[in-house]
Structure formats: C-alpha cells, structure tokens
Amino acid sequence: MSTLSGQKIKDKFGNLLHVEGGVTSTTKNVEDGTGDATALKLSTSTVEVNGTLNFTSTPATASSEQTALLINGSDDVVKRELGTFAFLPYEDKVILRQEAAVSLTGTFQAMTFASIDNTDPDTSYQFGDSTAYTGLNTSARPSANGVYRMDVALQFTGISNAEIEIQIRVGGTAIASDKRSKGAGIDESMISFYYAKYLSSGDTIDVVCRVNSGSATLAAGSAFEILKLG
C-alpha cells in the first residue's frame, strides 16, 4: 500500500475515498476522487454492499455455535438461532422397488430391485450418503453399525384364495414376517409392515415372498425402504 505522506492532494485526489455531503442517516455511495462509486454504501447506522462480499481468508469454524446469518426478504443480513436439529445429517435411506412383476411359488423368492436412479420414476432411490448401502440387487448391506427401520409396502395381484407369506431377513434369518389370506373374488392386495433392529456393518438384508396356497404375483414397483435411525 502506497502512502500519502508527502503527496499533494492535487496529485492524489483520485485515490481518496469520500462520501458526498458527508455521512448522514441515509446510505450514500462511497466514491473515489473522480466520482466513481464503489460497491460500498455508508450511513450513520448501516453498511451496504452492492456486489459480492469476499473474505481475504476463510472465517474460523465453530463446532458448537447455532447462530446463523441469513438474508431476509429486504436483502438485509439478519441472525437466527437455528437449534441443534438444523445440523442433523441428511437421512441415509434407500427405497428399493421391485424391478418387474414376478409370479410367486411355494418357495421363498427374494425381491429383485431396480437400479438406483433418483430421476427415473420406475427405479429405486437413494438419499444421503451414496455409500451407506451396497449390494442393492436382491439384498442391501448397510455400511455402518446402527439402528435401522425397515418398511415393506408390497402389492400383489391375482391373489384369489391365496395365502401369501412375506419375511424381512437379515443374514438369511427372518426377523419379521406377515401372512395374508384372501377369499375368492379379491384380485389385488397391498401388504405393508415395518420392523426396527440394530444392524452391523455388512449385514445382508432382503425381503422374500412365497405362496403357501393358491397363486399370486408380486407387482413391479413394490417397495422395501431402509432408513438409518441412529
């Protein structure tokens, strides 16, 4: 930075910043000596920036502070106390959808999941950490220990007089199951239930279905959702 010491005003006036008429209660442009306005406006109570606000160095990081600076509808900077819930991580969740309709037999068959694509209405979906679940073909494996909620919402067609059995399994062992019987003349049914369990990293989770009597088809789009609770 050059000094003005020993310089004549007539030679350096263009470098001097000033507020025309002095600072008042109304914001005014801070100008250089040739009348060019800067991105800064001042008043006796307000500092206004008409442009991009940059920091020479990154501000310090606070791990416990819950006060945030926000922009209101008048483009004023305001503060707000957010609370701890504002900083909770995004949920690690997958919604795995049956890829194609499949006719059930008397032997348990695992759901076959459509590929992950959050932009396609006919696929499966994943939210949060993209590596939170692996596999995702006929099973899912969580990448971290924790408590998980597992929801099934399965649609069946052609189920007249069929007894349908569904299981959520971890490592091939059923942890939750449901059976549903329907009488003659009823062609479709939706079966849903959930279960919560502590799972270890790498546990294999799947959903299997079978008919113990009669016949039924598991409809495409039937869903199995896994959500990490903590």
Taking phi over 0 as left and psi of -120 to 50 as alpha, with beta for the rest, 4 belongs to: alpha
Do 25 and 115 reside in the same domain of the chain? no
Give 88-135 pLDDT, tens digit per residue.
556 789 999 999 999 999 999 999 999 999 999 999 999 988 889 999
Look at residue 206 and tell me if it is in a domain: yes
Residues in the chain: 230
Look at residue 194 and tell me if it is in a domain: yes
The answer to whether 155 touches 206, Cβ cutoff 8 Å, is no
Do 44 and 100 reside in the same domain of the chain? no
Residue numbers of the domain that contains 27 = 9-55
pLDDT number for residue 17: 81
CATH code (residue 183)? 2.60.120.40
Q: How many domains does the chain have?
A: 2
Look at residue 66 and tell me if it is in a domain: no
Do 138 and 206 reside in the same domain of the chain? yes
Question: Terminal CA-to-CA distance of the chain, rounded, Å?
Answer: 54
pLDDT number for residue 86: 66
Do 31 and 105 reside in the same domain of the chain? no
Do 35 and 120 reside in the same domain of the chain? no
pLDDT number for residue 90: 64
**β partners of residue 81:** 67
Low-confidence residues of the chain: pLDDT under 50: none
Do 223 and 109 reside in the same domain of the chain? yes
Closest to 45 in 3D by CA, of 81, 80, 76: 76
Do 28 and 123 reside in the same domain of the chain? no
- The alpha carbon of residue 96 and the mean position of all alpha carbons in its chain are separated, in whole angstroms, by 16
Do 141 and 35 reside in the same domain of the chain? no
pLDDT number for residue 35: 83
Please give the angle made by the CA atoms of 148, 174 and 143, to the nearest 5 degrees: 35
pLDDT number for residue 87: 63
Do 120 and 210 reside in the same domain of the chain? yes
Look at residue 166 and tell me if it is in a domain: yes
Do 112 and 44 reside in the same domain of the chain? no
Do 41 and 99 reside in the same domain of the chain? no
